[in-house]
Structure 1
C-alpha cells in the first residue's frame, strides 16, 4: 500500500509539473506593434524572430499608423514597439502626450535622418531651390509622400509653409508606393522629389541625396527607441530584458530591407539575418 500510495503521489506531482509548464508556455505571448515603413518592418520582424526562435514566445504583429502604435503601447493592447523615432519625427505628436503611460527603454538604433530627397542626376541641392519655377514644373509641383499620419509628412507640410511653396502638392500614399514611384522615375532618369529617411534600402539601391534644409524643418539626426507597456517587466522579464538589450546599426537594418525588396519574405529575411549574426543576438539575450 505504501508503495502504491507513493507512486500515486509521484504521478500527481509529475502531472502538476507538466500542467504548470504548459500554462507557462501558453502565457508566453507578445504583441508587437509597428508602422508600415520598410525600416520598421525589418526591425520588428527581427525582434519577432528572436522572441520566437530563441525565447519561445508566440508573437502577434499589429501593423498600424503612428498614432495608434503609441496608443496601443500606452493602453496595454500592445506589449512593445521598436519604432519610436525621436526626438523630432514622433516627439511632439505622439511621444510627449503619452510618455507617462509607457516605459521608454532607450535607443536601439542611432544615425537616422529624414527629409526630402532627389536622384543625384537632378540639379538641385536645397529645399530653397524648389521655389524656382523650372524645378516645380519638372515635377508638376509635387512631392511624393507616404502615409498621412507619419511624422515626416507633418514636417513636409511645415516645410511647404516655411519655404513659401504654396503652389506645391504633397502626395499622400504609403512607404511602399513612394518607393515604387521613385524607382520607376529613377529607372527612366525622370525628375522626382520624395519624402525620405535613413535607414532605407532606396539609398543602397539608387544614387540619391537629401536636399539641404537650412531652416531645420526636418530636425537633425535622430534615434529610434524601444518602448514597452507598463508592467511588461513583471509579466515577461525575459522578453523585457531582450528588448532592453536590443540594438543594432543602420547597416544591419538595411541588409534586412534589401533582402525583402529583392523578393525574400519578411520572415525569411529576418531569420536569415538572425542566423548570420549570432554574436549580436547572443548579446541581446545574455542573462536570460
Structure 2
C-alpha cells in the first residue's frame, strides 16, 4: 500500500518562491537610476575637441544613469571654460590641460577654483606631421622610399618651409596648443610662417586630405586622439621645450561644489581613466559619425562596469 505524503503547507511554498525571487533579483545587474528632474543639474562645460566631448558625455552618463543626478553640458572655448567655472557659471570642467598647455588660464583662475587633480595622465601637445613615404613603400631595389615629410624637429621647418607652404593648420585660436604654437613661431624664428585658425574638425579634414593626396602638412595636435590610431603620425621634436613634456588632463570644479553637491563632487574626485580608455570612446564617436555621443558613452560605461563602480562606490 502506497504511503500518502501530504503536500507542504502553503506558507512554505510561498516562502520558497519569495527566496527564489530574491536570488534571481540579486543576480541581475542593478537598474539605471533615472535622473531626478527636481534636482539641480550639474553644469559641465567642455570644448569641441574629441577628448573633451568624450569625457563630458561619459561623466554625464555616469551622473544620470548611476547616481540619478541630472547633468547639463555646455560647449564653449578653452578660455571661457576656465572663466565660467571660476565665476560659478558652471560647476565643472574635465579638460584642463596642465601644467603647460593651460598655464595662462591657470595663472588667472586657479585661485578661484578647486583643482581635483588629473583624471588622465600621459597627455601631450605639439606640432604633428604624417609619416608616410613617397610612392610605394619600397623602391624596385627593395629599399625604403624617401619619407614624404623629412622634417624631424620644429627647427627643420626653417629648411623645409616651402614644402609646407609656410603654413601650420591649427584649431580654435584660444586653445592652449595655439598659444604655444604662436610662441614656437617666435622661438624658432619661423619668419613668414602663418598659423591657420579653424577647429578640430577642419584640421582633421585637411590632415586626411593631405595624407590621401600625399601632400606635406603640419598640424597642431595632441594625444590622446583617435587620429593617432587611424594614421601614422609623429610629433616634431621640440628642442626648446616650448610645448613642454607630458601633460595631465585635470578635473576642475567651482568653489563650494563639495558642500552643495557632495555626491557629484565625490564621483568627480574619483574619476580617473587611461589614454587607451579615452581613445576607445573617441574612436567609437568617430566611427558612428552621428550626434549620439551620449549613447556611445553609455556603451562604454556598460563595457567597463568595474571601472565605473570604482568611481561611484
TM-score relative to the length of structure 2: 0.81
1:112 and 2:123 aligned: yes
SS of the equivalent of 1:197 reads: strand
SS of the equivalent of 1:99 reads: helix
Q: Distance in 2 between matches of 1:83 and 1:211?
A: 24
The structure number with the bigger radius of gyration is 2
Q: Distance in 2 between matches of 1:44 and 1:200?
A: 15
Partner of 1:13: none
Q: Residues 218-264 of structure 1, C-alpha deviation per residue, up to 9 Å, x if partnerless?
A: 01111011011111111111100000000000000001111111125
Partner of 2:109: 98
Q: Distance in 2 between matches of 1:108 and 1:145?
A: 25
Partner of 2:45: 33
Q: Distance in 2 between matches of 1:61 and 1:142?
A: 34
SS of the equivalent of 1:100 reads: helix
Partner of 1:72: 84
Unaligned stretches of 5+ residues in structure 2: 1-35, 133-148
Q: Which of 217, 222, 240 is the matching residue for 1:215?
A: 240
Q: Which of 198, 206, 226 is the matching residue for 1:181?
A: 206
TM-score relative to the length of structure 1: 0.88
- Count of residues in Structure 1 that have an aligned counterpart in Structure 2: 260
Shift of 1:80: 0.5
Q: Which of 34, 56, 72 is the matching residue for 1:60?
A: 72
1:85 and 2:97 aligned: yes
Q: Which of 259, 264, 279 is the matching residue for 1:239?
A: 264
Contact 1:200 1:254 in 2 (8 A): yes
Q: Distance in 2 between matches of 1:165 and 1:25?
A: 54
SS of the equivalent of 1:63 reads: strand
Q: What does 1:1-288 align with in structure 2 at a 5 Å threshold?
A: 26-91=38-103, 93-121=104-132, 122-132=149-159, 135-263=160-288, 264=290, 265-286=292-313
Shift of 1:207: 0.2
Q: CA RMSD in A?
A: 1.1
Larger % of helix: which? 1
SS of the equivalent of 2:195 reads: strand
Contact 2:85 2:253 in 1 (8 A): yes
Contact 1:84 1:90 in 2 (8 A): yes
Partner of 1:9: none
Contact 1:117 1:195 in 2 (8 A): yes
Contact 1:109 1:224 in 2 (8 A): yes
SS of the equivalent of 2:111 reads: coil
Contact 1:233 1:240 in 2 (8 A): yes
